Chain A
Amino acid sequence: MQPSTLTYAPALMANGYEFSGGSGYALPQYPFSPPPELTEQQIRRHEIVIVGAGLAGLTLACALNQYGVRAVLLDEDNTVGVKGASSRGICYAQKTLEIFKRLGIYDRIAAKGVQWSVGRTFAGSDEVYSFDLASASTHNISRQPPFINIQQFYVEGFLVEQLYQAANRTVELRWNNRITGFEQNAEFAALNITTPAGDYRIEATHVIDCSGARSPFRAWVAASVTAKTGDDRWCIADVRFKHPPPVERHTWIEAPFNEGRAVWQHLMADGVWRIDYQMRPDADPEEVSREEVVRTRINGQLGRDVPHDEYDIVWIGPYAYRSECLNQLQHGRVFFVGDAAHVVSPFGARGGNSGVQDADNLAWKLAAVLQGRAGPALLASYHDERHEAATHNVLVTNRTTRFLRPADGAERVFRNAAIRLAKRHAFARQLVTTGRMSTPNVYSRSSVCHSSGGRALQNVALLWADGSTGDMADLLAWTQGHLLLLVFGRLNEKETRQLRELARQTGACCVQVVRKAALAAAKEHVVDSHGHLAGCAGKPRWAIVRPDSYLAASGQQLVDAFLTQAVSSATGAAA
C-alpha cells in the first residue's frame, strides 16, 4: 500500500491542543497494516525498535536504512507534525542540513524552505543591531547554507517518503502502534503495543526512545532529570499575508506594540510567517489565543487596523517552555534521543537540531556494532558525546532565557544597560541575545574521540578522481558506515603500502586528499582545490572522520603507532 502524497493545503481541521486555533494544515496520512505479531503465536525479537516517528526517530530510521540495518519504527498516530496541528521546529541549522544531504532529502528542503541571512534586532523603536550571515566567512565553506526555515512536518514527511522510496528498505514503519508497557532484563527488552487491530508484545535488543518530551520511558527506567522551569509565556500566531513583509528575521527584545515585551518574526515555507509574542507571566492562555486578541496584536505591530482579508491565521498556539536534561542518556537497553533526552527553550533552534544530531550520532554506532565493526563499548560513547552536547545546549538556552525574561532588580538593570549601550557601541551587542544559533557541539570528553578530534567537519565541496563534483557528505555515504581515513598531500610507495595494509586490517576507507589531481598516488583520491577540507580538519597529515562527519583524531605522522591506535579507538576498542 502506498502512502498518500504530501499535500499541505490549508484546511479547516481541529487539532488536539487546548486554546489553539487557526485553520491548520492538511497533513499526510500513512497506512496502518496489522503487524505480523498479531497473528503469530511466538514473540519476535528485533535488534532495534525505535519509538516515535518525529524528527529524531525518522532521522535515525533513515540513517539506519542507509547503513542497511534492520529496525522497526513505531508511531502512535498515522501522520507527521504535532497531532495535525502546526509546526514545532522551524529553523534547521547547517549541520542538520548536512545530515539531510547525506540522507538524500536536502534538495527537497532547499526547494520548499526559505533561506534567510539578514537578521535585525530591535528594542523600542530603535534597531539595536543587524547581521547578514551571507557575509560571515565561518559558514561559507559548507555546501549547505547557515539555516533554512521550514515547517517541521515537511521535513518529517520528506524523511517518511525517503524511507518508503528506498530500494532496499530495512526499516519497517508501523503507524498507529502505541507503546503501553515496557520492561528489560540482561538479555532483552519487552514492549507491549496497542494497535487498532489488537495488542501484541515484542522483544528488542535495543530500544531507541524518540517519543518526545512526554516520553513514558523516563518513568519506566526511573531516569533522573535535571530540570528548570520559569514563568515565561509566549503565544505563536502563524499567519499568511497577502502582501508579505521582507524576508528578514526580525526580533524585538522590547516591542512597543507588545507592552515592551519580546516579539519574533520568521518566515517559513508557503509564505507563512511565524509571529511569536512574549506574554505577561500571568497571561491567560485562552484569552491571548483568541483570534480577535491575536488580530489586535498584529494591528499594533503593523501600526494600522489591518482588514481581516489581508492575512489568514494558519495557527495560534500559546506555550511555556522548560529546560530538562536526563542525567544518563542510556538506561540499560534504552537510548534516549531528541526531546525524550533533553528539552530546551526554542531560542537558538537547539531542540530539533540537536535531536537530529543525536540520531545521526547513534545511527552509525548501532550500525557498526550490529554489523561487527565495533564492540558494544562504542554505544556507551553516545551518552558521553550527546550528553555533553545536551548540557551545553541547556546552558546556552538558559542564558538566553535569562536575558529575555530577566528577574526584577539587578537582572533587569543590567539588561537595560546592555541594550542602551548596544544601540551605540558594537561591543555591547555581544551581550544582547535573542538566541545563540545552533552550531555543531564539540566532544571533549568522549571515550572514542582523541583530543586532536571531537569537532565536526563541514560539508565542503570536493572533486572526485574522475573530475566530477562531489562533497564530504557523498564521501561519507560512500564509506557505508566505515571510518574514513583521509591522508593529505603526496604519498610515497612505502606510505601507500602501509596505508593499504592499515585499511585492510581495520576496515577503514582510506582516501588521499590532494590540491591537484596530478599529485594523487592512490586510486581512491579526491581533489580539495581550495584546501577547505584540509583547513577545517586543522591542516593535519591524516584525519580519521566518522560517518557522522566528526573528526575522531588527527595527526602529523604517517604511518605510526598513534595512527593505528587512533583507528581502533575511534570504534571503541580498548587502548
Chain B
Amino acid sequence: MTSEPNFEDADAFYESLLDAHQGLSREQSESLNARLVLVLANQVGSTQALLACLKVAQETGDETL
C-alpha cells in the first residue's frame, strides 16, 4: 500500500465522489459506497495491500475529530 500522494488529480476525484452522492438518501449513499469499495478493492488486488488499506481506515476511525 502506498500512503504517499498518488492521485493524478485529487481535487477532481473528490469532486466526482461528492457529485456521485449528491441527492442520494443515506441508504443509497451507503450502497454506492459499498459498491465503490468492492470495485476499488479489485483494482488493488493484492491481499497485503488491501489489509493495509483496511487498517489505515480502521485506525483513523478511532481518533476523535
Contact = CB atoms under 8 A, between A and B. Distances in A.
Contacts of B42: 427-428
Nearest to A413: B34
A421 to B, nearest CB: 6
A414 interface: yes
A421 B31 contact: no
B38 A431 contact: yes
Interface residues of A, number: 12
A413 B31 contact: yes
Contacts of A427: 39, 42
A310 B39 CA distance: 46
Interface string B25-40: 0000011001101110
Contacts of B35: 417, 420-421
A416 B38 contact: no
A330 to B, nearest CB: 33
A403 B37 CA distance: 17
A413 B39 contact: no
Contacts of A417: 31, 34-35, 37-38
Interface string A407-433: 000100110111011000101100100
B61 to A, nearest CB: 13
Secondary structure at chain A's binding surface: helix, strand, loop or mixed?
A: helix
A52 to B, nearest CB: 40
A414 B35 CA distance: 7
A88 B42 CA distance: 37
B23 to A, nearest CB: 19
Contacts of A431: 38
A555 to B, nearest CB: 30
Nearest to A426: B42
Interface in B4-46: 30-31, 34-35, 37-39, 42
Nearest to B36: A417
B30 A413 contact: yes
Contacts of B30: 413
Contacts of B31: 413, 416-417, 420
Interface in A513-537: none
Contacts of B38: 414, 417-418, 421, 428, 431
B38 to A, nearest CB: 6
Contacts of A410: 34
Interface string A195-211: 00000000000000000
Interface in A364-422: 410, 413-414, 416-418, 420-421
Contacts of B37: 414, 417
Contacts of A428: 38, 42
| 9 smallest beta-carbon distances between A and B, as pairs | A417-B34, A417-B35, A427-B42, A413-B34, A414-B34, A417-B38, A413-B30, A421-B35, A413-B31
24 contacts: A410-B34, A413-B30, A413-B31, A413-B34, A414-B34, A414-B37, A414-B38, A416-B34, A417-B31, A417-B34, A417-B35, A417-B37, A417-B38, A418-B38, A420-B31, A420-B35, A421-B35, A421-B38, A421-B39, A425-B39, A427-B39, A427-B42, A428-B38, A431-B38
